Amino acid sequence: MIGATQDTILWDPSVDPRRAACSTPCFPSEATWTEVGVRKRKKRTINGDSPPRLSVIIIHVGTNDIFTKGSEMIKDEFNRLFNLCKQSGKMFFISGPMPTLGRGNWRFSRLLSLNTWLQSAVDANDFKFIDNFNLFWNRAAFFKVDGIHPNSLGSQHLAANILYAVHTSSY
């Protein structure tokens, strides 16, 4: 675990979750809204299954859906998620997507568009946005050789960026 306050838990993604003192629900993007069981599990996690004293939830945005779904479908899914989050009464930080390294103009354009839209959508919903795009842009030292996933240095910077946003935010 790299950081914890009274009501915020964050751990380094490189930590083995089987040994961590906390758990993170993961909702695979393809199943998030299409499978009823996943939708119910997500709602329970956001509204009731999280520890009662937990008042801040951080949602990190992945990039898998940019290949399989259109922009408007992705926006609709985020808007449904934001509506669910607003019902919970908790504070949400949306950790924006990271750019990729050397993966082509089409992917870059889609990610930049998503990042830009998310910034305004998060603000409109009174959540907090964590900008990872600019932090990771053109920083080869932060990525594994696939140019998509952060290496251990990138994971450290991602976690530090999230902690900084949470600790310097007024909520």
**134-164 pLDDT per residue, tens:** 999 999 999 999 998 999 999 999 999 998 9
Whether the CB-CB separation of 93 and 164 falls below 8 Å is answered with no
Quote the pTM value: 0.72
Domain spans in the chain, listed from the N-terminal domain onward? 3-168
Q: What is the pLDDT, as a whole number, of residue 86? A: 87
Going by the DSSP 8-state scheme, the letter that residue 20 receives in this structure is S
Q: Which residues contact 47 (CB under 8 A, 6 or more apart)?
A: 84, 87, 88
Specify the CATH number for 3-168; select among 1.10.10.410, 3.40.50.300, 3.40.50.12700, 1.20.1440.230. Answer: 3.40.50.12700
Is it the case that residue 68 has pLDDT exceeding 50?
yes
Task: Provide the token pair at 153.
Answer: 């240095």
Q: What is the pLDDT, as a whole number, of residue 33? A: 37
| Terminal C-alpha separation, the chain | 23
